Amino acid sequence: MKQAQIPLALDELPSKWYNIIPDLPGGLPAPKEPGEGESRIQALGRRMIGECLKQESSDSRWIDIPEPVRELYIQAGRPRPLYRAYRLEQKLGLTKVRLYYKREDLSPTGSHKVNTALAQAYYAAKEGKRVLVTETGAGQWGTALSYAASLMELSTVVFWVRAVYDWKMERRVLMEMYGAKVHASPSDQTSFGKQLLAENAHHPGSLGIAVSEGLEYVDGSPDRVYCLGSVLNHVLIHQSIIGLEAIKQFELVDDSPDLIVGCLGGGSNFGGIALPFLGEVLAGRRRCDFLAAQSEAAPNLIKGEYRYDFGDTAGHTPLLMMYTLGHEAVMQPIKSDGLRYHAAAPIISALKHAGHIRAVALPRDEVSAFTAAKLFLESEGWLIAGESAHAVRAAIDEAKASEAKSEEKCILINISGHGFLDIDAYRDILHLGTSKSQ
């Protein structure tokens, strides 16, 4: 019997996260002050979770996952299965290429974001904070944090990019069911938001603007703390649980990926699946390539410059060394809006700069990505998020290219989220649901 699902036993759940920083040749460029205004590094100390900031600059390769967080991971369905995509392979006529996918879509709120949300909510509660404040793009991060906060009996305030807030009503309801207060960003809750609204009452917003508003809002009360859903080192550390599980699962089936593909906005799901494998590549224990699938709407790794830039539009964060399109770049909204961020995580950027990661940008009309997701649905049966559809498209293109050259290859795809709340995006991009009753 062919077994498509490769589970991992509960007692195999990793007990430590992996931090690649000590293994980066040449280390990671340190954050910098912009040279005017208040110290951004000191401000972060006031605005963010102490334990997360400690992890941000940790030089420990392995970081203990607190027992209560491991319990929460299990409650949230970890370890998550790895799948061999036998049916998609057959549909594509692959004979040389093996496809696998890791199931981060099987989380309570539908994405990988839960992996860091649970850790951040746990640390925030331990440090006596009562209100978690954050930004969200596609809505997945805001939902994940609202869920984690509700389990820890904290409340959440979410600044949600207005262009998406306006059309993802179901996800807004879900956040509110978890008890969150959700504001369309730019909002009237902050001076930065008010200034942008005065310039344009219909401002579509962006992740960078939502981060700026959230950071400003935190300053209003010592009960509040800022939680970031991507980009920063501690977020990628928490997400390493994905790749650490996958390494054990490949051992169970005596196989090993030659190529790992994930979609990339800020870099958290891609980092989560890739970095534990990449650490072994850097140590000379494994050979594997890494491909980040982006959108032409925000091709930060491809068209961005590698330089110091702010993580938010208003310039509240320290300067980070990243591939960036510029913190004030205007990027048109897309349906897979989780991919629309101006810069890639410093860790991912350093690895791209050193030649360890490739990137591809898919057309901004999203047709090719969503068509790949439909093929995935028809063959594997699972409805995936628009962001994850970019990874599936890029992996299918790679698989076809290898097959055409009769090249043996094993490809691992990270499925970062489910698409149950993205149905109207599929309807609009693929022109579905228009048939009339007879």
Ligand X SMILES: Cc1ncc(COP(=O)(O)O)c(C=O)c1O
Which residues sit at the interface with ligand X, rule CB under 6 A?
111, 137-138, 140-141, 230, 263-270, 338-339, 385, 387-388, 416-417
Residue 419: closest CA among 23, 159, 104, 172: 104
| Ramachandran quadrant class, 326 (left: phi over 0; alpha: psi -120 to 50; beta: rest) | left
Check whether the bond before 81 is cis (ω within 30° of 0). Answer: no
Smaller CB separation from ligand X, 196 or 264 = 264
Smaller CB separation from ligand X, 84 or 390 = 390
Provide the minimum distance between the beta carbon of 438 and ligand X in the complex, in angstroms, as a whole number: 37
E-strand stretches of 245-317: 259-263, 289-295, 305-310
Smaller CB separation from ligand X, 85 or 343 = 343
Provide the minimum distance between the beta carbon of 155 and ligand X in the complex, in angstroms, as a whole number: 21
Provide the minimum distance between the beta carbon of 310 and ligand X in the complex, in angstroms, as a whole number: 17
Provide the minimum distance between the beta carbon of 221 and ligand X in the complex, in angstroms, as a whole number: 27
Provide the minimum distance between the beta carbon of 419 and ligand X in the complex, in angstroms, as a whole number: 9
Smaller CB separation from ligand X, 19 or 111 = 111
Smaller CB separation from ligand X, 141 or 376 = 141
Provide the minimum distance between the beta carbon of 424 and ligand X in the complex, in angstroms, as a whole number: 16
Provide the minimum distance between the beta carbon of 232 and ligand X in the complex, in angstroms, as a whole number: 10
Q: What interhelical angle do 140-151 and 67-75 show, nearest 10?
A: 120
**358-362 sheet: strands from edge to edge:** 5-6, 82-84, 97-103, 409-415, 259-263, 289-295, 358-362
Provide the minimum distance between the beta carbon of 338 and ligand X in the complex, in angstroms, as a whole number: 2
Provide the minimum distance between the beta carbon of 340 and ligand X in the complex, in angstroms, as a whole number: 9
State phi, psi for 437 to the nearest 5 degrees: -70, 150
How would you classify the pairing of strands 409-415 and 259-263?
parallel
Smaller CB separation from ligand X, 55 or 111 = 111
Smaller CB separation from ligand X, 65 or 293 = 293
Smaller CB separation from ligand X, 19 or 268 = 268
DSSP track, 313-329: SS--SPEEEEEES-TT-
Smaller CB separation from ligand X, 28 or 97 = 28
Q: Name residues whose C-beta falls within 8 Å of residue 415's C-beta, 6 or more positions apart in sequence.
A: 101, 102, 103, 104, 105, 382, 384, 388, 391, 392
Q: Name residues whose C-beta falls within 8 Å of residue 122's C-beta, 6 or more positions apart in sequence.
A: 66, 68, 69, 72, 148, 152
What Cα–Cα distance (Å) separates residue 140 from each residue in 10, 105, 271, 387? Answer: 26, 11, 17, 11
Residue 115: closest CA among 131, 102, 128, 126: 102
Q: Are 88 and 380 in contact (CB under 8 A)?
A: yes
Provide the minimum distance between the beta carbon of 267 and ligand X in the complex, in angstroms, as a whole number: 5
**Residue at shortest CB range from ligand X:** 338
What is the C-alpha separation between 31 and 21, in angstroms, rounded?
14
What is the C-alpha separation between 217 and 213, in angstroms, rounded?
6
Residue 228: closest CA among 290, 320, 334, 307: 320
Smaller CB separation from ligand X, 72 or 389 = 389
